[in-house]
């Protein structure tokens, strides 16, 4: 599998898995990835939050990749995720030179938030905004 396809599929499946699990978890009384604002705690599991309370996590990749050059073919520069197990019945007689390398990188990912807690957060934001506006009006009347 090409590296770009592996990364793409991993991120999509993580996001879809979170989204698909939210309702069953909510039905059991919990919330998966609730919409919250980041506090000052150092014990948080995510790196930041978007303004709508969507949490941003880092997905760490530590991947073994291989580059294989076969004799008689042109190099196309594709990196593939190294496979430990290769099943198949075909064999080839061409010479190949394979290089195995490891790469590590992080990708920030804002996961889908629970829709119930997202609605609650938006409602709380609106109440806070109205309370702030009311307080400002009262302060202006006092001067």
> How high is the mean pLDDT of the chain?
80
Span 93-99, mean pLDDT? 61
Q: CA-to-CA distance for 51 and 93, rounded, in angstroms?
A: 58
Q: For residue 12, give both structure tokens.
A: 């999509």
Q: CA-to-CA distance for 32 and 84, rounded, in angstroms?
A: 33
Report the predicted TM-score, pTM, of the whole model to 2 decimal places: 0.66
Q: Does residue 91 surpass a pLDDT of 50?
A: no
Q: How many Cα atoms within 13 Å fall on the side-chain side of residue 77?
A: 0
What pLDDT, in 10s, does the model give residues 44-73?
Answer: 677 787 777 788 888 899 998 887 766 655
- 22: pLDDT confidence band, cut at 50, 70 and 90? very high
């Amino acid at each position: 599998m090409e590296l770009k396809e592996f990364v793409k599929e991993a991120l999509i499946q993580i996001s879809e898995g979170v989204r698909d699990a939210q309702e069953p978890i909510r039905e059991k009384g919990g919330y998966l990835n609730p919409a919250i604002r980041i506090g000052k705690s150092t014990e948080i599991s995510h790196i930041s939050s978007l303004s709508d309370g969507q949490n941003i996590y880092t997905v760490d990749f530590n991947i073994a990749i291989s580059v294989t050059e076969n004799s008689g073919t042109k190099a196309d520069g594709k990196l593939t995720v190294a496979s430990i197990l290769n099943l198949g019945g075909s064999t080839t007689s061409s010479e190949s030179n394979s290089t195995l390398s490891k790469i590590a990188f992080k990708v920030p990912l804002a996961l889908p938030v629970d829709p119930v807690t997202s609605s609650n957060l938006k409602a709380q934001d609106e109440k806070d905004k109205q309370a702030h506006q009311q307080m400002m009006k009262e302060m202006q009347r006092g001067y």
